[in-house]
Amino acid sequence: MYEFTPFKKSDKLQFSSFIPFPRELLEREEYKILNPNAMLLFSVLADRLDLSFKQIDKNSKVKFYDDKGNMYVIFKRDEIQEKLHLKRSALNTALNLLKDCNLIQEKKQGKNLPNIIYVGKTIGMIEDEKIIKFRDVQNQHSGKNEINSPDCMKSTPHNNYNNINKNNIYNNGYNKKSNRSKSSTFGDIEDYKKRNGIEDFNCLYANKFN
């Protein structure tokens, strides 16, 4: 092993390779139950998921997605233990914590075969996708008349997209500073919902996102 060598002020912080690590795992209250092993495991699984996507890009005969199009990884327990320097009990704990946070799901393949591991999207990713879809819907229906009442249940299917004013979203929501992580607009959306008496964005759509 080499002796300790500190960075110099003339150096650049540049490593040969990285694995993805979502900052929100450190900052969101929903993920406070995750221990360091679980957070590192999620990053390693996400890195392996990237390889699954690359198989698609290469038009490989080996596909890592099911008949519903859900991506997955195959990672044997002993391989994970070796990579993360973990005992089996510590690995099982980390896996269970990720399951509790809806960050992974496992599916058995059969006797003597490793489990399929589905890697889930983080809360921030899900929220950002919903905001993008919401903005797309607003753009598509920007020419329709507004409904003044914030009560989604009283709106008709034809006009239920128009309960939220587009300018309010952009000017009052996105431009305000949130107490949450800068990587998420969740706090801004919650403020908007409270100000306008809206409990759930899903009620604004004829078809829900999921």
pLDDT tens readout for residues 123-138 = 999 999 999 998 888 8
Q: Which domains does the chain have, with CATH numbers?
A: 24-119 (1.10.10), 123-204 (no CATH)
**Predicted local distance difference test score (pLDDT) of residue 58:** 87
> Mean per-residue pLDDT for 171-197?
50
| 105 has a pLDDT exceeding 50 | yes
Least confident of 89-98, 118-127, 196-205: 196-205
Q: Which of 184, 176, 205 is nearest to 124 (CA)?
A: 184
Whether the per-residue pLDDT at 197 is higher than 50: the answer is yes
Closest CA to 112 of 83, 77, 84: 77
Contacts of 117 (CB under 8 A, 6+ apart): 45, 72, 73, 74, 75, 104, 105, 106
Q: Using CA atoms, how far apart are residues 202 and 210, in angstroms rounded to an integer?
A: 9
What distance in Å separates the CA atoms of residue 38 and residue 145, rounded to the nearest whole number?
49
Rounded to 5 degrees, what are φ and ψ at 202? Answer: -60, -25
pLDDT tens-digit series, residues 34-75? 999 999 999 999 999 999 999 898 888 889 999 999 999 999
Q: For the packed helices 77-84 and 88-100, what is the interaxial angle rounded to 10 degrees?
A: 100
